[in-house]
Amino acid sequence: MTHRIFYKLVFVFAVFIAAATLILDLAITHSWQGSLRSEIENSLGQKTAMLALELSARPLAQIPPTQLRQQVKSIAEAAHARATIIDTQGHVLADSTADAESMENHARRPEFIAALEGRTGTDVRISHTVGLEFLYLAQPVPGGAVRLAVPLVAIAEANHRVVRSLAWASALAFVLAVLLAAWASRGASLRLERILEFAGKIAEGDLSARLSEHQGDEIGNVAMALDVTARKLQTSFQQLEDSRSELEAVLNSMQEPVIALSNDGRAQWANHRLEMLTPTGVRLGQPVVQTVRDPNFLAAVQTAAQERRVTSTRVNSFVPGRIFNATVAPMPSGGLVAVLHDLTDAEKIETTRRDFIANVSHELRTPLTSIQGYAETLLDGVNSPETQRDFLEIIRKNSARMTRLTEDLLVLARVESGDKKLQLRPLAASELLRDASDYFRDHRADSGMQLDVVNEALKLVNADRDVIFQVFSNLIDNACKYAASGGRILIGAHDVEGFVQFYVRDFGPGISSEHLPRLFERFYRVDKARSRESGGTGLGLAIAKHIILAHGGNIMAESELGHGCTFVFSLPEARAGGE
């Protein structure tokens, strides 16, 4: 590009210089020829006038021919010209070059016609006598006319010399001018090259490029205007980039998945949350069906694109096991934006709430029905003391069951809400296991079960001794109720990385695998009949789970049918220098 500009400029300059030189040469040559001819004519006219003056002393007819021939030759030699004398009839009386008697009549020569009429005559033609081009000039004299003639070969030679000198001078001037033009063109092309390079950087997105141009000509003004434009563009793009980055940061910080779509339904951008939920990743530039395959969502996208209105729908098949509410809205600048609100937890909470109310109602209805029925029987007049005592015992047991249920509900509510503050302090695993063993001896020794303790833990744990005691008591009660046939309970502890792991194992019939994921739900029972007979509320494992989670640990159950069940929970180890 730069070389093309340079060569174009040099070519244009060369053409202009050549044209100017040619015009100047023609003008100088024409002026020189005119000036030289005028000078020769003036000189020849003066000489002719002197010759005419010399011959005007007497008429030509009175001058002897011999004297005329001598005068003609002397005049010709003095004037460096051809001299001719004719009479009024046009007869040549004398000529410095040819024999007068052999020459034709000159009465019809233009210059002699004028001279015979009393005027100075001039003419340029080829001489019939010598065959050369001459400049003729004639003056009248008494009895005829006198003429001098100069060959124009001298003028041609002089012109040739002048033209040759002028050509050399013009060539030298042309070369120098072209060199100067090339130098000037090179400077201009280099400046244009810098402008082109600068424009290329801007086109590639490098808005930090700058163009330094200090000359005040047109190219400099263009360069300054481009530089100012680049600065303004950089400022504008930086502002847009800052706004885009802020918007992207806000969208990426959202917990709701967000995706931007083109009008034809192609994915343009997605936040981190959507990327995390999509196993194969968001395929930008591809149809959104390759990212979200839910038919309700795709129908909402189509409706929003066609009708340009906000559309909402329920999305069930985007992520297995999760439910979303998708809102698709058209953007003013074109395209669509879709936000997916995760309803899974809210629906689980609602389901749990409904189940909780139903379970509490069910749990309370049974003892209340028993209390009401037996109380009405007593009021109807049952007189047998033994029957009254049995009825009152049933009323007492159901009242106690309702009390336990109420107390467990209050404990679970306090643990879940965080109202119950834990008193954490470093404790040895042996202390917690000893508390569990003491509980078994005081409350469950008559169950027919045997309790064994295995302590392999060396670390201290951060724990609230009283609430961990409640966890052990719930797990031991559970083992005694459901695994009495095993005859033995094993509790223990051992160290794992960052934690101490405790366990309560029974050797009863075990629990089927389909029940294990739901064991820690409120009121969930594997054997509902046995649970009610044993007086359980169905909240013990749920309370244990929330207590362990509040400590920063974890709890789970492991079991196989016929091989007993093991409840395992972990507590964080106590760090040095703190609880």
Pair 422, 551: CB distance under 8 Å = yes
Q: Please indicate, yes or no, if residue 246 is contained in any of the structural domains.
A: no
- Single out the residue in 157, 191, 222 at which a domain terminates: 157
What whole-number distance in Å separates Cα of residue 395 and Cα of residue 372? Answer: 9
Pair 29, 166: CB distance under 8 Å = yes
Q: Are residues 405 and 530 in the same domain?
A: no
Q: Are residues 14 and 139 in the same domain?
A: yes
Type of residue at 382: V
What per-residue confidence (pLDDT) applies to 410?
Answer: 67
What per-residue confidence (pLDDT) applies to 536?
Answer: 60
What whole-number distance in Å separates Cα of residue 182 and Cα of residue 357? Answer: 97
What whole-number distance in Å separates Cα of residue 261 and Cα of residue 268? Answer: 5
Pair 493, 569: CB distance under 8 Å = no
What whole-number distance in Å separates Cα of residue 392 and Cα of residue 110? Answer: 173
Q: Please indicate, yes or no, if residue 579 is contained in any of the structural domains.
A: no
CATH number for position 385:
1.10.287.130
Q: Are residues 397 and 455 in the same domain?
A: no
Domain count, the chain: 4
Q: Are residues 365 and 455 in the same domain?
A: no
Type of residue at 46: Q
What whole-number distance in Å separates Cα of residue 350 and Cα of residue 356? Answer: 10
**pLDDT, tens only, 87-119:** 888 888 888 888 877 788 887 888 888 888 888
Q: Are residues 97 and 63 in the same domain?
A: yes
Pair 337, 257: CB distance under 8 Å = no
Q: Are residues 46 and 135 in the same domain?
A: yes
| Tokens, residue 333 | 């600048």
What per-residue confidence (pLDDT) applies to 33?
Answer: 62
Q: Are residues 491 and 542 in the same domain?
A: yes
Q: Please indicate, yes or no, if residue 199 is contained in any of the structural domains.
A: no
What per-residue confidence (pLDDT) applies to 439?
Answer: 87
Which DSSP letter does residue 268 get? E
Type of residue at 185: S
CA triplet 506, 466, 482: central angle to 5 degrees? 20
Output the pTM of the full model: 0.42
- Single out the residue in 342, 364, 390 at which a domain terminates: 342
What whole-number distance in Å separates Cα of residue 446 and Cα of residue 444? Answer: 5
What per-residue confidence (pLDDT) applies to 555?
Answer: 92
Type of residue at 141: V
Type of residue at 222: V
What per-residue confidence (pLDDT) applies to 1?
Answer: 47
Q: How many CA atoms lie within 13 A of 2 on its CB side?
A: 12
Angle between helices 385-417 and 344-379 (to 10 degrees): 160
Q: Are residues 550 and 428 in the same domain?
A: yes
Strand pairing report for 488-496 and 499-506: antiparallel
Angle between helices 429-439 and 465-482 (to 10 degrees): 50
Give me the residue label for tokens 């090259």: 193
Q: Are residues 513 and 431 in the same domain?
A: yes
CATH number for position 566:
3.30.565.10
Closest C-alpha among 501, 483, 497 to residue 559: 483
Averages of pLDDT over each 10 residues, the chain, 579 residues: 58 68 68 66 74 73 78 78 83 81 81 82 76 81 83 70 72 73 68 70 69 64 72 74 69 76 83 77 81 85 87 84 85 84 76 62 66 68 67 71 66 65 88 90 80 90 89 87 77 92 90 81 64 60 86 89 89 71
What whole-number distance in Å separates Cα of residue 507 and Cα of residue 566? Answer: 9
Q: Are residues 366 and 338 in the same domain?
A: no
What per-residue confidence (pLDDT) applies to 156?
Answer: 67
CA triplet 101, 104, 109: central angle to 5 degrees? 130
What per-residue confidence (pLDDT) applies to 172?
Answer: 78
Pair 88, 120: CB distance under 8 Å = no
Q: Which residues pair with 504 in a beta bridge?
A: 491, 567
CATH number for position 328:
3.30.450.20
Domain that holds residue 401: 346-414
Q: Are residues 454 and 434 in the same domain?
A: yes
Which DSSP letter does residue 494 get? E
Q: What's the mean per-residue pLDDT of the chain?
A: 77
Q: Chain-centre distance of CA 411, in angstroms?
A: 58
What per-residue confidence (pLDDT) applies to 411?
Answer: 66
Phi, psi for 185 (deg, rounded to 5): -65, -40
Q: Are residues 115 and 83 in the same domain?
A: yes
- Single out the residue in 342, 359, 377 at which a domain terminates: 342
